[in-house]
Every structure is written in C-alpha cells, then in structure tokens.
Amino acid sequence: MPVVREFRLPDLGEGLTGAEVVRWMVEVGEVIAVDQPVVEVETAKAVVEVPCPYGGVVTARYGEEGEEIAVGAPLVTVAVAPAEADAAVVVETAEVERPLVGFGVAEPGRGGRRRRVGAAAPVAVAVAPAAPAAPAAPAAPVVVPVISPLVRRLAREQGVDLAGVTGSGPDGLIMRADVERAVAAKVSVKASAPSAPAGATDAAGAVAGAVAASEGVVPLRGLRKAVAEKLSRSHREIPAATCWVDADATELMALRRQLNATPGPKVSVLALLARICTVALARFPELNSSVTEDGSGIVRHSAVHLGFAAQGERGLVVPVVRDAQSRSTEQLGEELGRLTEAARSGALTPAELTGGTFTLNNYGVFGVDGSTPILNHPEAAMLGVGRIVAKPWVHGGELAVREVTQLSFTFDHRVCDGGTAGGFLRFVADCVEQPGMLLRQL
C-alpha cells in the first residue's frame, strides 16, 4: 500500500517567509519523478521552480495560483511506493534530510521529514490509496509556446487565452508584447460593438464592475511588497544624508572611446564607474560597512559586493557583483552585462540579489541629473550618477563645452561624518575628471 508523504515549501534562501504560487506544473493524479519541479513560485527575490524530493502519484496540492504560501506550509502530498518509503525511513532514522536540488542540506539535529499516512487533508483533492492498475493516459495537453511566468500572469489577469495568441518570438514563442496586443484587440472589439439591449444590462454591469475593480487598490505582493518594506525600514532606521558635486566627465568618456577602439570586449561607462568605486572604497573602507541589527556596532566588510540598480520585467532590482574589488575593469563589465541581461529576462536568482555591501545607482539612464535615493538597507552608502550631458564649463581658464555629470553620495551618518563622505565623493569626482589617477592606485 502506498505511503502518502507531505512536501512542504522550503526556505528558498535569505530568510524569506513565503512565496506566491505563479503556476502549478503538476496535476493531482499525475505521476512525478524524484526532484521533478512541481510548482513555480515568486518570492521577494525571484521566480523559481520548486522540485519535490519524492517520486510517486500526486494526491493533493495546496494553494491556488496567486495565493501566498508560508515557508513550512504544505505544497503537495505524494503517494510513494512502499520500497521508496522504506528507503526514506532509513534516511529519517539517520536524521539526514535528502537535499532538494538547489536548496542545500538541512541543518544537523533537525531530524527527517514528517510522514503522513492516509488520506490528504480535507481541503485537498484526495486520491484512493490503492492503485491496482495504472491510471488511464490523460488527453494530450495543448502546448502553448510561452516560457515567462510574467507573460502567463499578464494573460491570466487580462483574461487572454494564450492558446489563441500567435507568438512573435523565436519558434512562435509568445512574448509580453503579443499578450498586450491581444488585450488591445479585445478593448477595440468592445469599443466598436453595438450598444447592448436592455436585457443585457447584467453583462454590461459585470464589465463595468471589472473595470472599476481594476481602478481600485492594487495589493502589495511579491517583489513590490518586499521593496516597500525594505525602503520603509531604511527610511525609518537609517539617519541618511546626501552630498553632491558636478564633475567634468569629458576625459572619462574619451578614455572609454579609446578603450573601445581596440579589439576585444567593449567597456561600458558603468564598468568604469564600478572600478572607480572599488578604488575609492579601498581608500575609505569605513563606507563599505553596515550597522548591526541592534545598532550597537559597525560591521566593516573586507570584500566589496557591489550592487547596482537594474530595470527588469519585475521592476527595479539590485543585482550584486561579488568580490568587485578583485575584478579588472573588463571583468567588471562582463559581470555587469551578464547580470543586467538576467535582470531583463527575470532570470536572476535570490543569491544574485542579496548580500550587497555598497550600491552604484546610475539613474542617468532615465534622463535625470540628480537624485537623493534611499539606502539599500542594511548598506551604509550609495553612489548616484546622473546623465552625462554637454554643458558650458570653465576648463583651463576658458569657457568650453564639456561632458558634465552630477554625482550624489548618500550615506549612513552613523558610520562616518561629513568629512569622510565628502572625501570619498571628491576622490570619485577627481577620478571621473582625471581617470589617469586610477593608475596610481594599482
């Protein structure tokens, strides 16, 4: 007789407390293999697939799409064959939990997984425990060429049937723009439809109610909720101050053009600024720090894990370049490019979005000159860079047109005073104006 085993939502990293169900990848009654992904969830950090450590027949699944599941709450129950169940018991006796793919091993002393024998909980759909014959093969599913869970969610929220959408991506892949065109087409059809007769007021009322609902309160969930909580905490706990200076970036841009005139990988402005930041933090190490949770001390970080703001499908995220201080300008550029592409495609992992010690914020890409950003808690400092634009500037005692940018520096006033922050910003500005200074720092 099969043994029903319960798989609970694991901690997906960095102390996350829950995740939102984006898409179920299995159905009740389906036979799954060990470590087969069963559900796609969205955490505050990324969209990930969760594999189940049991193989067998899915007897129940918990949570609807769009519902948030707490860490440790049941995800699915699986009817496991007796032989596999006996093997699992041996593992439990040794108090070593079989690791999930990508999630590491449980801490010693916590014991094995819980085992539930019998039918699933009343809220779940149960399957008869005895399985004398193999279930009939289900009808072949309709294969819809779509990969992104964000595209699926948009289609679901807008009531678009993906089976009727023609994809414009490679091999007919359905992209976000395809769904948006389908939504626009639906709106156009509704707008051109003749007036409904008096007897159709119920349908019209339902449409009006849906429109009114779309104009109401938008719940804070997933990434947006995590960002709101983190920014609120930063603003509440950190006494931040900001200073800024205009810098002549003409020589820096000339250096970039010179570097990119030679064969090899191209160097971005962001990579040059990242290199300047690592050199400046080596001179002012107190700014690569954070205040302890209880506010009783300051943690000085030996490595620079450089975060940078990037715009992705899920909104603004901050990927982290690990050990930035040990990378060359070219290596920084390669890693910045890789993480930027991952942010745009929504493929960043939780590990790539956490652990930063200092943030570089290039808000100039949005066409603005300056900003006073909120610090990325618990970091103590952030360098902001505005757009680089041609302006009249006094150079060599004469008025000239130069490429000028505004640099802003926001810092936790608990870790340093204004003299240290001003010294850091002035050093960065000098490196922007005279990039040859970097050679003297090597």
Question: Which residues are annotated as catalytic?
Answer: 413, 417
Q: What spatial distance separates the first Cα and last Cα of the chain, rounded to whole Å?
A: 69
171 burial type by CB count under 10 A (0-12 exposed, 13-18 middle, 19+ buried) = exposed
Handedness of CA 312, 221, 239, 416 (dihedral sign): negative
Q: Comparing C-alpha atoms, which of 75, 72, 78, 102 is closest to residue 10?
A: 72
Q: Residue 171 carries which DSSP code?
A: G
Q: What residues pair up with 48 in beta bridges, in sequence order?
A: 41
Q: Comparing C-alpha atoms, which of 216, 215, 221 is closest to residue 67?
A: 221
Rounded Cα distance, 186 and 251, in Å: 53
Number of residues that make up the chain: 442
Q: Comparing C-alpha atoms, which of 71, 81, 51, 100 is closest to residue 9?
A: 71
C-alpha 403: how far from its chain's center?
A: 34
**Phi and psi at residue 28, in whole multiples of 5°?**
-65, 130
Q: Is the distance from CB of 386 to CB of 423 less than 8 angstroms?
A: no
Rounded Cα distance, 275 and 281, in Å: 10
**Phi and psi at residue 398, in whole multiples of 5°?**
-130, 155
The single residue listed with the structure tokens 């047109």 is 401
CA distances from 96 to 36, 37, 105, 409 (A): 20, 22, 8, 48
Specify the amino acid at residue 364. Answer: G
Q: Is the distance from CB of 162 to CB of 145 less than 8 angstroms?
A: no
Q: Is the distance from CB of 314 to CB of 150 less than 8 angstroms?
A: yes
Q: Is the distance from CB of 77 to CB of 53 less than 8 angstroms?
A: no
CA distances from 74 to 52, 67, 106, 116, 121 (A): 12, 13, 17, 11, 10
